Structure 1
Amino acid sequence: MKELLFNEGQNLKEVLCEISEYIYHNPELGNQEFKSSEKLISFLEEHNFIVEREFLGLKTAFRAVYDSNKPGLTVGYLCEYDALPEIGHGCGHNMIGTMSAGAGVILSKILDQVGGRVIVYGTPAEETDGAKVIFAEQGVFEELDAAMMLHPSDKTCASGTSTAIYPLQFRYKGKTAHAASCPQEGINALNSVIQLFNGIDALRQHVTPDVRMHGIITNGGVAANIVPDEAVAQFYFRAAKKETVMELVEKVKNIAQGAALMTGATLEMERFELPYDDLRTHENLSEAFNENLRILGIEDIEENEDFGSSDIGNVSHIVPTIHPNIGISNCRVIGHSREMADATISELGHERLLIGTLALAYTGYDVLTNKVEL
């Protein structure tokens, strides 16, 4: 049966490369991916998927289903297609969306024989307000037996972990005054932000090595001779586990309150983006995917040491999930770079696009035929 899947992939290779290049040449930021999502939707509809556009009210999200109408399991593939500011597809989402949609289509060609369903999700804005978080909160992924996506990189790595992340904004409000003639009449909101940074820096020696805390000041006042009455900082707090992040956030909130008390400012705290959970790789599903890569000629599969965050982590807390990497360069190329974007449409990038798509489809077949213990 995998030979049939392989042949279907060969038939689609030119189309898949064209879709990936189209998305590469039309980079769109999160929740603005109108061209990219429509390109993927059109491809899926051409292959008899039933597509729900603007899924859950998100303008560039979709849910595409091919149902054999026979008993069986349900396999899900996750598409990403948002780009980065100025860099374009430096994270390779043009390939991610194409491989997931392509795997869904290839697997659908044998679905009437083996039973079950395949669902392809269009999940916008992974780089900012990841739609997978919203999908997860709405219970969407509970309809799946397995979820998969594949990320381009400079080397091929097994699905591993990702860090949980909690984005938190601190807005301090004080009182303006002339900074020279009557500073005593003012309440300096910027001083609160500075004390916030100092407090967080002091906390660094009392956290575990996996913790990351990094922030910026987005508003620090308007003129040097005016006591700032408002100052705003935004931070990302990360750790290997969601539970660690939430404990960390509570400590930081206390620091933030203390910074307000030191100056007399008031404080408002809120999430400015959606929080991502840590990725929990399903090891049986991961090994099935790795074996399929080996069948397709990629034997050098490294351990994943990525320390980034992704909204697929939220998916993995609900359903067996994998998020491996496939190498698209013969030399060191860092993520979120123009070089990575260009690698996605290189000759090797196109070769690995097909291999990655087939490996996803093969693994989906293994799930549907109960070759993987979930």
Structure 2
Amino acid sequence: MSTTLLSHFEDFKEHMYEISQYIGKNPELGNEEFKACEILTKTLKEYGFQVKANIVDQPTAFEAVYDSGKPGPRIAFMSEYDALPEIGHACGHNLIGTMGMAAGIALSKEVSRTGGAVYVYGTPAEETRGAKVTMAEQGIFDHLDAAIMCHPSSNYRESGSSLAMDAIEFAFTGKTAHAAAAPEEGINALDAVIQTFNGINALRQHVTPDVRIHGVIPEGGKAANVVPDYAVAHFYVRASTRDSVNQVVEKVKNCAKGAALATGAQLSISNYEYSYDNMITNNALSDAFTESLLELGVDKKEIKEKVGGGSLDMGNVSHKVPSIHPYIKISETPIIGHTREFRDASLSRSGFEGMYTGAKAMALTGLRILTDESLLEDIKLECKA
């Protein structure tokens, strides 16, 4: 049956290449991916999927389903397609968007005999306000038996953990004054921001090694001879679990509150992006994906363990349904995400070929779930443990 499944990929391979190139050469920022959303949903409809657009009140989010009408597992593939400012698809989301769709289309051609249903989710703005967060909160994934996505890289890596993350804004309001003639009349909002940074830097020696806190000052005043009456700091606070992030965030907020008290500035605290939960990999599902890679001829020695570091909105999905987020090799030379070199690899033919291996492995993993009751049971039991 796997041979039949893989043969489907050859039927539409060049079409998928054209789509990945179109998305890659028309980069769109998060929640602005109208061209990418249109071509993906149009293609899925052409292959028999029922598509709901504008889900969770996000115009570039969608749900596509191919239901066999027979009982069976419900398998979902995730598609991302947002780009980065200035450097375009330097995280390879043109490949991720196409990969999830290709896997879904291929597997849909098998469910008439296996039973079950195949879903493809269009999930905008992973780099900023990830739609998977809202989807998870609203129960979009609750009915699924497995959620699968794959990310481009310069190595094959197993699905692993990711860091939970909060994006915190500290906005300080002070009082303007002439910085030389009457500084005593002013309340310096920028000083409050700087004191916040100093407080957080002192905090670093009292947190666990998994914690990451990093920030910038998007607003800090306009002229050196005017006491700034408004200043803003943006911080990402990350840790290995949601509970740890929550604890550290309270300490970080206290640093800002102390800075406000010390300077006399008024403080406003908010989240400027969605909060991401840590990724919980389902190991039974991950092992099935690795077996699929091996079936496709990937050398086991090339598949490395995942080392955590960043944050993913797929983490929020993994708290709702058995999930994996492995990495697929698209380059023979080392490349780092969010660089022009990564963008170029994502637009190359060899990058596409690597992506297509990932799509095949995703579909094969889905087929294993559809046809192996014991695997599905292992996946479910792990979630209950």
Question: Is the TM value for this pair above 0.5?
Answer: yes
What's the counterpart of residue 255 of structure 1? 255
* Deviation larger for 116-125 or 177-186: 177-186
After TM superposition, list the pairs within 5 Å mapping 1:273-292 onto structure 2. 273-292=273-292
Q: Output the amino acid matched with 2:77.
A: Y
Instruction: Measure how far apart 1:55 and its partner are.
Output: 1.2
Instruction: Provide the C-alpha distance between the structure 2 equivalents of 1:213 and 1:161, rounded to a whole number of angstroms.
Output: 18
> C-alpha deviations, 1:234-256, integer Å up to 9, x for none?
00001111111110000111111
Instruction: Provide the C-alpha distance between the structure 2 equivalents of 1:256 and 1:21, rounded to a whole number of angstroms.
Output: 45
Q: Output the amino acid matched with 1:278.
A: N
Q: In the alignment, which of 343, 348, 351 is matched to residue 349 of structure 1?
A: 351
> C-alpha deviations, 1:91-110, integer Å up to 9, x for none?
00011111101111100001
Instruction: Provide the C-alpha distance between the structure 2 equivalents of 1:142 and 1:308, rounded to a whole number of angstroms.
Output: 25
Instruction: Provide the C-alpha distance between the structure 2 equivalents of 1:57 and 1:332, rounded to a whole number of angstroms.
Output: 39
> C-alpha deviations, 1:291-349, integer Å up to 9, x for none?
00000011220011141111000000110000000011111111111111111232322
Instruction: Measure how far apart 1:371 and its partner are.
Output: 4.8
Instruction: Measure how far apart 1:32 and its partner are.
Output: 0.5
SS at match of 1:179: coil
Instruction: Measure how far apart 1:350 and its partner are.
Output: 2.4
User: Which runs of no fewer than 5 residues in structure 1 stay unpaired?
Assistant: none
Q: Is the counterpart of residue 221 in structure 1 residue 221 in structure 2?
A: yes
What's the counterpart of residue 107 of structure 1? 107
Tell me if the contact between 2:141 and 2:320 (Cα under 8 Å) persists in the aligned partners. yes
Q: Output the amino acid matched with 2:19.
A: I
What's the counterpart of residue 265 of structure 1? 265
Q: Is the counterpart of residue 236 in structure 1 residue 236 in structure 2?
A: yes
After TM superposition, list the pairs within 5 Å mapping 1:8-19 onto structure 2. 8-19=8-19
After TM superposition, list the pairs within 5 Å mapping 1:1-374 onto structure 2. 1-299=1-299, 300-369=302-371, 370-372=373-375, 373-374=378-379
SS at match of 2:156: coil
SS at match of 2:222: coil
Q: Output the amino acid matched with 1:335.
A: G
Instruction: Provide the C-alpha distance between the structure 1 equivalents of 2:349 and 2:225, rounded to a whole number of angstroms.
Output: 58
SS at match of 1:269: strand
Q: TM-score, normalised by structure 2?
A: 0.96
Instruction: Provide the C-alpha distance between the structure 1 equivalents of 2:181 and 2:221, rounded to a whole number of angstroms.
Output: 18
> C-alpha deviations, 1:23-45, integer Å up to 9, x for none?
11111100000111111111100
Equivalent residue pairs, number = 374
> C-alpha deviations, 1:274-302, integer Å up to 9, x for none?
01011010000000000000000112200
Instruction: Provide the C-alpha distance between the structure 1 equivalents of 2:291 and 2:368, rounded to a whole number of angstroms.
Output: 11
Instruction: Measure how far apart 1:353 and its partner are.
Output: 2.2
* Deviation larger for 154-163 or 181-190: 181-190
Tell me if the contact between 2:95 and 2:352 (Cα under 8 Å) persists in the aligned partners. no
Tell me if the contact between 2:125 and 2:131 (Cα under 8 Å) persists in the aligned partners. yes
Q: Output the amino acid matched with 2:167.
A: P
Q: TM-score, normalised by structure 1?
A: 0.98
Tell me if the contact between 1:171 and 1:268 (Cα under 8 Å) persists in the aligned partners. yes
Instruction: Provide the C-alpha distance between the structure 2 equivalents of 1:229 and 1:39, rounded to a whole number of angstroms.
Output: 47
User: Which runs of no fewer than 5 residues in structure 2 stay unpaired?
Assistant: 380-385
Q: Output the amino acid matched with 1:83.
A: A
Structure 1 residue ranges, 4+ long, deviating more than 6 angstroms after superposition:
none
Q: Output the amino acid matched with 2:51.
A: V
